[in-house]
Structure 1
Amino acid sequence: MELTNSEHGGVTVIAVKGSIDSLNADQLTRAFARPVAQGQVMLVADFAAVTYTSSAGLRSLLAAVKDCRQHGGDLRIAAPQAQVQRVLSISGFAGIIQIFADREAALDSFRAAA
């Protein structure tokens, strides 16, 4: 799994590439926690290049969204591939975390809320 962070008008985008599983989910959890600890509580998880997520990845997402919301922000998911979207839907995450077709739509959702 590869992670890349970028800033977009006060929103931190964490682009994830590869598979998320029990071997690397802690790395993802830390990647989400770092910006929140620095007061950057509006996050987008860009999943365009995520090919698989296990329940460990879902736990990482849940921890991140809770952390963001406790600090007045939120986590949004952008561009999940069909198989990952299916996992998010079946697990009920589509009702917990807002999911957008692409990164720009996720970023726009924060702008619209401001």
Structure 2
Amino acid sequence: MELRKDVRGGVTVIAMDGRLDSETAPRVQQNLEALFPGDGLVVLDMSQTTYMSSAGLRVLLLVYRQTQRSAARLALTGLSDDLREIMDATGFLAFFTVVDSVEAGVEALTV
């Protein structure tokens, strides 16, 4: 899993590329904590996330909890049908603002 950070209009965009599973989750969690602004606006672009296991869901839960402890706001974008189905079945979609594109995420967080 590769993470890339960009800033668009004051919003941090973190692109997640690859598999989010038990092998990659610990490193992804550590790297996300380093890239995540404590009180900013963040879009997680998951359009290149090809697979997510329960370990990946745990990473997203920890990111969600981090936003709840701070003044940060978070949106997810680029969820494939498979990822959306997993997150819906587990109730995770209810925790996040989910949008179709990075641009929509930036707009949703800055309105």
**TM-score between the two structures when normalised by the length of structure 2:** 0.91
Cα RMSD over matched residues? 1.4
Looking at structure 2, the residues matched to 61 and 41 of structure 1 have their Cα atoms a distance apart, in angstroms, of 17
Report the CA distance between 1:40 and its aligned residue.
Answer: 4.8
Aligned to 1:26: 26
5+ residue gaps, structure 2? none
**TM-score between the two structures when normalised by the length of structure 1:** 0.89
Indicate the SS of the match to 1:47.
strand
Report the CA distance between 1:31 and its aligned residue.
Answer: 2.5
Report the CA distance between 1:34 and its aligned residue.
Answer: 1.4
CA deviation digits over 1:52-102, x for unaligned, max 9?
100111111111111122111122110111111111111111111111111
Matches within 5 A, 1:1-114: 1-36=1-36, 39-112=38-111
Asked if the contact 1:16/1:47 (under 8 Å) is kept, the reply is yes
Residue type of the alignment partner of 1:42: L
Indicate the SS of the match to 1:39.
coil
Indicate the SS of the match to 1:88.
helix
Residue type of the alignment partner of 1:66: R
5+ residue gaps, structure 1? none
Residue type of the alignment partner of 1:62: L
Asked if the contact 1:16/1:50 (under 8 Å) is kept, the reply is yes
Looking at structure 2, the residues matched to 77 and 31 of structure 1 have their Cα atoms a distance apart, in angstroms, of 17
> Once the two structures are aligned, what percentage of the paired residues are identical?
29
Looking at structure 2, the residues matched to 50 and 77 of structure 1 have their Cα atoms a distance apart, in angstroms, of 12
Indicate the SS of the match to 1:16.
strand
